Structure 1
Amino acid sequence: MEFIYISVLIIAIAFAVLVIYLTRTLRAATRTLDNVANTMSSLEKQLNGVTKETEQLLHKSNRLAEDIQHKSESLNSVFVSVKDLGDSLQGVNRSVRNVSENVSKQAERQSEQIGQAVQWGNVAIDLYRKWKVTKQQYENTNKEEK
């Protein structure tokens, strides 16, 4: 009988040790779960802050995109005006080129006439000089006779 009492005592001690270790394990698990809960709470707060910042950033990005779109549309009219100006300048250049070509053609056609006119002008100048020299000689001869 004594053997039974000793066996029951060993079982009771083993059960007590098991309960002690089980209690310690449960307390450690409780502390771990408390830490996880605190971490999750902190993470939730941080996530809320990040979410708010992300929303603000998204709103700012949308406003910036709208502003860029508006300014782009404003610049479109400027580019259209610059294109029109370029087209006008091309037209002016064509007109100047045509006038220049016409002047060149007319100058080529009339170059012979211009050359003849210059020759006649030279002949007229030579005749005038000769007449002047002859006149002066005549006046000098008349002065000597008197």
Structure 2
Amino acid sequence: MEIIISISVALIAVAFVVLVYFLSRALKSLQTTLDHVAVTLESLEKQLDGVTRETTDLLHKTNQLAEDVQKKSDSLNHVFSAVQDFGQSVQKVNQSVRKVTDQITVETERQSKQISQAVQWGNAALNLWEKYKLKKSNVETTQRQYSRGGV
């Protein structure tokens, strides 16, 4: 029985050595993997720092661009305000011209009867004048003929 115990202990010792050997290989492989992970994390941290810096720079540039756009927008607001004022002025001028035109039309229509009467009186006066000239000319012709001994 002693031999069985010795063989059993020896077998347990061999099993323990094999177990320790494979466990040390697994731990060594795990150590290599963890070293690679550490290197990858360091690289990732450096890249993340670069991305963070670039993001910060981009944010500053975006803020500057937003300020510039705001200033230009404010400038355009002044331009649009001036254009609006100009449009209102043109509208007022148009309204004034329309009022003057309407007044001229009303006054012309009101005075058209007087103008028509003046033209009629003028035509009548011209007709009378021509009749007077014609009568005077007939009288002079008759007197010349009479003085020559015609009639």
**1:12 paired residue number:** 13
Cα distance in 1 for residues equivalent to 2:90 and 2:111 = 31
Unpaired stretches in structure 1, ≥5 consecutive residues: none
How far apart, CA to CA, are the structure 2 residues paired with 1:4 and 1:72? Answer: 96
1:70-122 Cα offsets, whole Å, 9 max, x none, are 11111121112111111111211111111111111111110100111222333
What is the TM-score of this pair, normalised by structure 1?
0.85
Q: What secondary structure does 2:6 align onto?
A: helix
Change (3 A) 1:128 1:47: farther
| 1:98 and 2:99 are equivalent in the alignment | yes
Q: 1:4 to 1:103 in 2, by over 3 A?
A: same
For structure 2, the residue ranges without an aligned partner over 5 or more in a row are: none
Which residue in 2 is equivalent to 1:87? 88
Q: Deviations over 1:11-58 (max 9, x none)?
A: 111001100111111011101111110110111011011001101100
| In structure 2, C-alpha distance between the alignment counterparts of 1:67 and 1:33, rounded to whole Å | 50
Deviates more, 1:49-58 or 1:78-87: 78-87
Alignment of 1:1-146 (within 5 A): 1-127=2-128, 134=134
C-alpha distance in structure 2 between counterparts of 1:24 and 1:128, whole Å = 145
Would you say how many aligned residue pairs link Structure 1 and Structure 2? 144
CA distance in 2, matches of 1:125, 1:19: 147
Rg: which structure is higher? 2
TM-score by length of 2: 0.82
More relative contact order, 1 or 2 (CA 8 Å, 6+ apart): 2
Which one-letter code corresponds to 2:84 in the other structure? K
